[in-house]
Amino acid sequence: MGFEVLLVVGIDAVGIARFPRLLHDAGCRVTLLAPPGLAVARSRYVASHVATAVEPETLAGQLEAFLAERKSDFHHIIIGDEPTLTAVARHRGEAWLDGWFPVDHRGDAVEVILSKSAFQQAAGAAGLTIPKSEICTGFAEVEAAVRAMGYPVMLKSPYGCSGSGVRKVADEAELKAAFELLYEGNGVMLVQQFVDGRVGSSDVLFDRGAPVCWQSWNSRLCWPTPLASSCAREAMSHRDIGLMLTGVGALSGFHGFAGVDWMHDAERDRVYLIEFNPRPTPTYHLDAHSRVSFAGSFRAMLEGTCGAGCRERLPEACGAVIHLFPQSLYRAVSERELNSFLRCWSDAPWSDPLLMAAYLRRVFTHFLPLRWRQAVKRLLRR
């Protein structure tokens, strides 16, 4: 292994657990800094695990102390989830973030990558194609913006991930309820015109703001809510996505793995930029389907030889539908849906048996009907 990578994870996000495989395939030795008990710690592609506290602020302090001793050991440092990144970003301007934080931590880019409202504002100013949006500071301003746009609209708090800070609002009654749920004190609220189209996302590797390679997906099915992360995806490409990602990279200067969410209005054949996810997204391992090598591109980036290879999927790679593992498995068991249950196994990480065991254990602890879980516990006691 030629490179040392530090992966910092604070929450048990499903997708990040498969990410060490990509780093391993890029020729990297992975050190994990994370609380005990996370699925990612079970991956065979994690060479060493340094245990931390669960609370994000404490974890950020432990990361600072760890880097004070070992920062020079690592060629690249990756923060794997938004809560941890947000906690670390509160130390913006401090010297220990120099040289590895994914954007310029002494400038406006930190807020651009963390805040939905700041990102939309920056994207609009940069001339990127976004839905009509208004940043509001109270319910009266939200009402006025909604009247100007017309229902339905999307209501978004500045911060959140996997759909946690987003609501689709269809009428006045829903507007009041959604505002009370999402509004945070004297903070702001983003009101965004609803785009009638297909939700999609692009997995991207940025090299100091330049998109090195990417793959794009339509979300075929989201779970457990329509605004949550997808558990089934369809490979796609569109002529506008490359230009959009170039614009996102230019306004953020992001360095590393990130995701970009968008809506495709098929009637107008336009792609509208929606959100930025400043951490590795769950589907980089699907590059075998898209014929894009993220591992090869990341290794080239570390070697300073970026630019070679396929930048985005070839057209003939489009159309394939992948039922993600374990997301589709959890949905299939919870809703007793046979088709997803049968199809998700082709995406299972068979080469990583302990990670597979961690995923399957969660089926028994979280997603089986209660009486089935109780029956399993009685059987195990015997």
| Residue-by-residue pLDDT tens, the chain, 382 positions | 589 999 999 999 888 999 999 999 999 999 999 999 999 999 999 999 999 999 999 999 999 999 999 999 999 999 999 999 999 999 999 999 999 999 999 999 999 999 998 999 999 999 999 999 999 888 999 999 999 999 999 998 888 766 667 888 998 888 988 888 888 765 788 899 998 899 999 999 999 999 999 999 999 998 888 878 899 999 999 999 999 999 999 999 999 999 999 999 988 999 999 999 999 999 999 998 888 899 999 999 999 987 544 566 556 668 889 999 999 999 999 898 999 999 999 999 999 999 999 999 888 887 777 666 666 667 667 6
Cβ atoms < 10 Å from Cβ of 37:
11
Cβ atoms < 10 Å from Cβ of 172:
12
- Among candidates 294, 300, 295, 285, which has minimal Cα distance to 312? 294
CATH 3.30.470.20 fits 198-319, yes or no: yes
204 and 194 in contact (C-beta within 8 Å)? no
DSSP 8-state symbol, 194: P
**pLDDT attached to residue 315:** 60
Q: How far apart are CA 26 and CA 47, in angstroms?
A: 14
**pLDDT attached to residue 309:** 44
- Among candidates 229, 272, 249, 275, which has minimal Cα distance to 116? 275
292 and 215 in contact (C-beta within 8 Å)? yes
Cβ atoms < 10 Å from Cβ of 339:
11
The per-residue DSSP string of 111-159 comes to: HHHH-HHHHHHHHHHTT-----EEEESSHHHHHHHHHHH-SSEEEE-SS
Give me the count of residues in the chain. 382
Measuring CA to CA, how many Å separate 215 from each of 49, 114, 260?
A: 30, 22, 10
Domain boundaries in the chain? 3-101, 132-193, 198-319
Q: How far apart are CA 270 and CA 202, in angstroms?
A: 15
- Residue 33, beta-bridge partner list: 8, 50
- Among candidates 274, 243, 246, which has minimal Cα distance to 260? 274
Q: How far apart are CA 114 and CA 112, in angstroms?
A: 6
**pLDDT attached to residue 162:** 62
Q: How far apart are CA 42 and CA 355, in angstroms?
A: 5
Q: What is the CATH number of domain 3-101?
A: 3.40.50.620
Strand order, beta sheet including 256-265: 270-277, 256-265, 198-207, 210-222, 230-236, 321-323
- Among candidates 297, 202, 193, 299, which has minimal Cα distance to 243? 202
Instruction: Name the residue type at position 226.
Output: P
Q: 132-193: which CATH number, 3.30.1490.20, 3.40.50.2300, 3.40.800.20, 3.50.50.60?
A: 3.30.1490.20
Cβ atoms < 10 Å from Cβ of 341:
16
154 and 169 in contact (C-beta within 8 Å)? yes
- Among candidates 361, 280, 290, which has minimal Cα distance to 326? 361
**pLDDT attached to residue 382:** 65
- Helices (DSSP H) in the chain: which residue ranges? 19-25, 56-70, 82-89, 109-114, 116-125, 139-149, 172-182, 241-252, 287-290, 294-303, 327-335, 338-343, 353-362, 370-381
Q: How far apart are CA 94 and CA 74, in angstroms?
A: 19
Spacing of C-alpha 379 from chain mean position: 38
